[in-house]
Structure 1
Amino acid sequence: MNEETARCFDEIVFTATDGLSLYARDYQAISAGEAGKAAVICLAGLSRNSRDFHHFAIAVRERTGRRVVAIDYRGRGRSAWDDNKANYNIATECGDVLSALSALSVDRAVFVGTSRGGLILHVLASSRPDLMAGAILNDIGPVIEPAGLREIARYLNRGERPRDWTQAEGILRTTHGANFPVLSDEDWRDMAEAVYVEKDGGIHADFDPAIAQHLLTLDFESPLPNLWAQFEAFGKMPLMAISGEHSTLLSAQTLAEMSRRHPGLRRHLATGQGHAPLLHRRDVFSAVVDFIQSI
């Protein structure tokens, strides 16, 4: 990331309720007038971090003028790792989001939740709907397909350590390329820089390995718990669901039931993408911005 790009956000360090140090990127509103609009809060996937949203945040800020915030939950990115590995759960991470909102003085926002981030939004909707002006669920719903989660568990626990950034990009292409045929060389480079970090003389996946190891304890032969009760809490608030054309985590059946239960649900198919779609690609971005501007 060059110096000019890095200046477009403030780095915020704050503490969780249990004292753990957490991190967020704050892309400030363009003007005082725009600051009055609902901010956009971005929540990343299971092992991912705020860097996933960098290009998306810049584009949303430029198009809408709004403040955009991207959060690192505990154990990811620049937030501290938790010694108590049992705290890597959706309820605790929802608490991390609440801590971020308090630290950043955000009292109402449009939330964008990718994968794990969308599950956190189910919990937030059922506990603090007053904070939510609207929500975007990126390739996630109340039902997770076991086959898709099993595949995530497999590749996150391979423990591959690239020798250099070229190999890091190659690992991602090998793992995800078949499901993301539309991605450009630049997209793959950006993904590598979001997923990996250079530290201790090497290149490492930027999350606590305990987060991935927990997936190995799941019984993929039995139905996974669903969040339909929490989904009902989205009620009549503006809601959008993005699905990857090649997603293995969000099924057409789940999407159809989401539409039945929330008749106002906006849906958008991210063609040429799998789990989870990049939001800054033009076709997806246009749909997302239209939704945000409607709130």
Structure 2
Amino acid sequence: MQARRKSVQCLSPTGLHTMSYQEWGDPFNPEVLVCVHGLARVSDDFDALAKNLADRYRVICPDVVGRGASGRLRNPMHYQIPQYVSDMVTLLARLDVVKVDWFGTSMGGLIGMGIASLEGSPIRKLILNDVGPALNPVALARIGEYVGQAVAFDRFDEALGYIKSISQPFGVHTDAQWEKLARDVLRQNAAGQWIKHYDLGLGLPFKSVTAEQVTAGEAMLWAAYDAIRSKTLVVRGENSDLLSLETVTEMTKRGPCATLVQISSVGHAPTFVSAEQIAIARDFLLRDD
């Protein structure tokens, strides 16, 4: 089974850009699942999950703008959630469906929260993978530190070692799984060096955020979460430094009153490439409620 690579044209304040996405399963299936990756990842992260669910869904996996096969923004300060929400609304219009289910890892979950909070939202079921309305500033600083850094490796094994070092919170993976996780986010430049797949400008919004903006942003996220009416599952890596146990406990009590599943021996964020993790998503998405 292979994905079909497609694209849709989206609008930012500085002009048009292209968002690439992969489509799995029957293109005429009205049951649609949208899977959106984390900050520095790509649509290929969902290959295993999409293959597993393509018997029941038309699975759509976009490369968020600035990443992978998608275009770049002229102004990197627009690499923020409101732009991503706008792009996804354009994608949903292209799909021409009434309802969708949503799986969002980290940033992809925040985008899903933004859409699910809107009146008339098409999201029926929502999976938030290791993300919520309150984000640990220390963890954000950790992520922001490496996102904007340029790296170049002459050998793939050196690049693989780098990806493994910054991705250790993903937990235990086989050598083959680590190689795929690395190849999905690495590209070779004209000199044959292995580099990051994304626009390094992604790191600029992190550098300009003030403490006041963080506080205001968190209040807005909680307001969005409280407005969600979709049936919601929040998945937390037991050792996550981004999503605290206190936050997920609160998420089970307010807004959509999410169901909570914790995955042991994993930090930020579960990759959903193993059969055990995929089963968590499949059970929630396909269960009749």
Q: Please give the TM-score of this superposition, normalised by the length of structure 1.
A: 0.88
Over residues 46-65 of structure 1, what are the superposed CA-to-partner deviations in whole Å (9 max), with x where a residue is unaligned? 1222111112211221xx42
1:230 to 2:220 alignment: no
State the secondary structure of the residue aligned to 1:119: helix
Q: Distance in 1 between matches of 2:239 and 2:120?
A: 31
How far apart in 1 are the matches of 2:267 and 2:226? 26
Q: Deviations over 1:207-234 (max 9, x none)?
A: 1111123212234698542111000121
Q: Letter of the 1:289 partner, please give it.
A: R
In structure 1, the partner of 2:236 is 243
SS at match of 1:285: helix
* AA at the equivalent of 2:178: W
2:282 maps to which of 279, 289, 294: 289
| Residues 1:118 and 1:181: Cα distance change in structure 2 (over 3 Å) | closer
State the 4+ residue runs in structure 1 displaced beyond 3 angstroms: 219-224
- The answer on 1:258 being equivalent to 2:251 is yes
User: Which residue of 2 is the match for residue 22 of structure 1?
Assistant: 19
Letter in 1 for 2:235: I
Residue 44 of structure 2 corresponds to which residue in structure 1? 51
For residue 18 of structure 2, what is the amino acid of its counterpart? Answer: S
- Counterpart for residue 202 of structure 2: 211
Work out the number of aligned pairs and report it: 281
* Whole-angstrom distance in 2 between the partners of 1:85 and 1:74: 10
Once the two structures are superposed, residues 221-253 of structure 1 have per-residue CA deviations (whole angstroms, 9 ceiling, x without a partner) of: 985421110001213x21000111221100000
1:194 equivalenced with 2:184 (yes/no): yes
**1:167 CA drift (Å):** 1.4
Change (3 A) 1:282 1:199: same
Unmatched segments (≥5 aa) in structure 2: none
Q: Does 1:11 align with 2:27?
A: no
Distance 2:97 2:117 in 1: 18
Q: Which runs of 5+ in 1 are unaligned?
A: none
TM-score normalised over the length of structure 2:
0.90
Task: Give the counterpart of 2:164 among 157, 173, 176.
Answer: 173
Aligned: 1:184 with 2:174? yes
Name the stretch that deviates more: 244-253 or 191-200.
191-200
Counterpart-to-counterpart distance in 2, 1:99 and 1:221: 31
SS of match in other structure, 1:216: helix
Partner residue of 1:267? 260
Q: Give the Å deviation of 1:188.
A: 0.9
Q: Does 1:109 align with 2:84?
A: no
What is the 5 A alignment of 1:144-163? 144-163=135-154
| Aligned amino acid, residue 229 of structure 1 | A
Give the share of equivalent positions with the same residue, in percent: 26
